Amino acid sequence: MDFSVAAAGVGLPASTPCIPIAERYWTKIVKSPSSTTNNIATAHAHLIWCTGLFFGAEGRSIRLSDCMRAGTHAELAAKMGFGTAPAVIMLGRTLHRFRHGEDKKTFGKWTHFWAAVDVRAAEVQAELDKEDAKRFVRPSRYKCSAPGCPVQASKGSMLRACAGKCEDAYKLRYCTKECQVADGKTHKRMCKPGLEAPQSEAPLPSRSPMNPSFTVGRFEMSPDWSLPTQSKNPTFKTARNGEYSVEIGGINVHTSPSQLSAQGVLSADK
């Protein structure tokens, strides 16, 4: 059996025929006597995408049955050593708000799943804290200076700096030419040599992997926005070489036959 057909369903909206097809083939991998532990763990991770939590759920509330199916797949994937799979981590961020409190008994029982999420969250938090330390020294270097624009950059070089004669320490930065033009009249009064840098700048808020920001291209949007559980306008792209990519809420879900083959999924059941 050629399991490459299953790759066609990864990242597609559930309203298309491909998600049920993918789910059927991933399930065959789980149940096949010839499947290795890595095969089964990978299949469980990909089956999370097929539960309806992320794709095809427009206009409806999250179903408890979808959460339980996804959590079970994530628990099994993590238990078999595949806890760093993107689907597992994204599910952790989605279900994190249900983990404690009155829902603890229902959602807190997946010990391997949450352990994997906690480890990854600690790693990401360390990276964010390191970046935030730099951002704290010079906040304006990492945020678009146009009034009302929420775009922030993880690196200062990602934003375009004013090319005028203002002092480097006082240069404003923008995410697009449009934002720079919109702020042009205000900045023009300061865009002169010899002006001192502002005495203080409002620090950027700290970030958390459990309360992630949208990622838009190279930039981040307001860091206190939560990751959505579904998208009203998913953008699906299929490349000629068999790669699949879908952008949902600024998050790219991507897979290719070569990646799946490297994980031991694209094997033939003879």
Considering only 104-108, 110-114, 123-127, 198-202, which range has the smallest mean pLDDT? 198-202
**What is the structure's pLDDT at 38?**
92
Q: What is the mean pLDDT of the chain?
A: 69
Q: What is the pLDDT of residues 143-182, one digit of tens each?
A: 888 888 888 877 777 888 888 877 776 778 888 888 888 8
Are 191 and 166 a contacting pair, CB within 8 Å? Answer: yes
* Higher-scoring residue by pLDDT: 189, 248: 189
Q: In what order do the strands lie in the sheet with 244-248?
A: 235-238, 244-248, 251-255
**What is the structure's pLDDT at 201?**
52
- Residue 217: band (very low, low, confident or very high) from pLDDT cuts 50, 70, 90: very low
Are 93 and 209 a contacting pair, CB within 8 Å? Answer: yes
Closest CA to 1 of 34, 36, 50, 47: 34
At 208, list the tokens: 């958390």
Flag whether pLDDT at 65 surpasses 90. Answer: no
Distance of alpha carbon 132 from alpha carbon 171, whole angstroms: 20
H or E segment and range at residue 30: helix 18-31
Provide the percentage of residues in the chain whose pLDDT is more than 70: 61
Counting Cβ atoms within 10 Å, is residue 232 exposed (0-12), middle (13-18) or buried (19+)?
exposed
* Rounded average pLDDT over 41-54: 89
Considering only 15-19, 78-82, 191-195, 206-210, which range has the smallest mean pLDDT? 15-19
* Rounded average pLDDT over 35-52: 91
Q: Measured between alpha carbons, how far is residue 39 from residues 7, 81, 96, 268 in Å?
A: 13, 11, 27, 11
Are 110 and 71 a contacting pair, CB within 8 Å? Answer: yes
Distance of alpha carbon 78 from alpha carbon 117, whole angstroms: 9
- Residue 119: band (very low, low, confident or very high) from pLDDT cuts 50, 70, 90: very high
**What is the structure's pLDDT at 223?**
32
Residue for token pair 């010899």: 194
Q: How far is CA 71 from the centre of its chain?
A: 18
Question: Alpha helix (H) ranges present in 104-256?
Answer: 104-107, 111-137, 177-182, 184-188
* Higher-scoring residue by pLDDT: 268, 102: 102
Distance of alpha carbon 171 from alpha carbon 149, whole angstroms: 17
Closest CA to 246 of 91, 89, 3, 14: 14
* Higher-scoring residue by pLDDT: 2, 64: 64
pTM of the model: 0.56
Are 73 and 34 a contacting pair, CB within 8 Å? Answer: no
* Rounded average pLDDT over 46-71: 79
Beta bridge partner(s), residue 245: 237, 254
